Amino acid sequence: MVYVVIIFLWTAILLYILLGGADFGAGIIELFTSRANRPRMRKKMYEAIGPIWEANHMWLIIVIVILFVGFPKIYTTVSIYLHIPLVCMLLGIIARGTAFVFRNYDAVKDHMQKIYTPIFVISSVVTPFFLGVIAASAVSGQIDLHAQDFVSAYVFSWLSWFSASVGIFTVTICAYLATVFIIGEAENEQDRQLFTRKARRTIFIVMAAGGLVFLAAHSEGIPLLRWIFSDVPGIIALILATISLVITFVLLLRNKPIILRLLAGFQVTMILFAATYSHFPDIILLKGGDNLSLLTHQGQVKTMETLGYALLIGSIFIIPALVYLIYSFQQKRGSKEAH
C-alpha cells in the first residue's frame, strides 16, 4: 500500500506543478506582457483558469496531508528546518489566492485594481520560486540536524545558489506552461501570433534557467550530473524531454494547440521524473550523508492502509468530476466559437 500512497504523492506534486504551475504562470507572463496587450492577456487567462482555479491548490493540500499522515518524520523535518521559505511560500499563496478573487469579484472596478493586480503578479512569482527553493533544499544536503546556531540550522538549510537557481527554474517552467496553454485559448490570428512569440521566447528562458541550475550545482559540489546520468531511466527521460521540446518548437509554427499542451505537460513530467528517480526512495538528503526515505520513514501498516484507501476512494469521486469540469468548459467554449 505504501507504493499506492507514494504514487498519489508523486502525482499530486506533478499535478500541482502542471495545473497550479500554469496558473502561477498566468501571473508571471502578465508581468512580462506589454501594457497594451495586458488586458487582453488577462481576460484570456481568467477565462481559461477561472473554472479550475479553486481546485488547483487542492493538490498542494493533498501533498501536505499525505506527508503528515503517511510520512510524519519527513513532514516535521521540512517544517522545522525549512520554516522560513515555507512561510514565504505561504505568504505568496495567501496573497495570490485572495488577490485573484478580489480583482475578479470586486463589485466596483476602480483604483483598487491597481492594488490587487501587483499583489497577484508579484505573488505569482514568489510562490513558485520558494516552492523550487524548498524542493532543492530537500535534496541538496543542506539540512543539518546537528546544527547548533540559528543561522546554520534555519538559514543555510535553504539559502544557497543551487536552491535559488532551482527556484528560478521553477518560475520559468510555470511561465512556459502558461504560454503554451494560452495558445489554445486564442480566438484570432493576432492573439495566436502574440502568444506563440511569447512561448518561443519562454523556451529559451527555461533552457537558460536549466543551465543555471547545473552551474549552481557544480559550483556547490552537488553531483547533479551524476544523479541524472547515472541511471538509464533518468537519461531516457531527459532525452525524451529534449526531443519533445524540439517537436514543440517546430509545432509552435503550426496551429496544434492540444498537442502542444500535451507535449509541454510531458516535458515537465519527464523533468520531475528525472529529478526524483535517482533519489527514490529517499526524499530528503541531509548534511553528512544521512537520508530520510519514503520507505523507512513511513507510518505504521494500518495508517498506510487507511490512507491508501482514503486516497483511492477520494479519487473515484474527484477524477471524473474534475475531468468533466475541464471537458465541459473546453467543449462549451469550442461550441461558442463555432457559432
Q: Where on the chain is the footprint of another protein (CB under 8 A)?
A: 50-55, 57-58, 60-62, 64-66, 68-70, 72-73, 75-76, 78-80, 83, 86-87, 90-91, 93-94, 97-98, 100-102, 105-108, 112, 150, 153-154, 299-300, 302-303, 306-307, 310-311, 313-314, 317-318, 321-322, 325, 328-329, 332
Please, which residue, 100 or 227, has the CB nearer to another protein?
100
Report DSSP state, residue 287. Answer: T
What is the C-alpha separation between 249 and 243, in angstroms, rounded? Answer: 10
DSSP 154: I
Q: Which is nearer to another protein, 31 or 101 (CB)?
A: 101
Where helices occur in 106-231 by DSSP H, the ranges are 113-139, 150, 161-183, 189-219, 224-229
Residue number, 35 or 302, with CB nearest to another protein: 302
Whole-number minimum distance, CB 170 to another protein, in Å?
18
Nearer to another protein, 134 or 206 (CB): 134
Question: Contact, 140 vs 160, CB < 8 A?
Answer: yes
What is the closest distance, in whole angstroms, from the C-beta atom of residue 147 to another protein in the complex? 11
Cβ 126 vs Cβ 94: under 8 Å? no
291-293 and 282-285 strand pairing = antiparallel
* Cα–Cα distance, 91 to 135 (Å, whole number): 17
CB of 2 to another protein, least distance (A): 13
Render the burial of 106-119: b for 16+ CB within 10 Å, e for the rest: eeeeeeeeeebbeb
Looking at the Cβ atoms of 86 and 263, the one nearer to another protein is 86
Q: How far is the CB of 138 from another protein (least distance, A)?
A: 14
Q: Nearest approach, Cβ of 82 to another protein (angstroms)?
A: 9
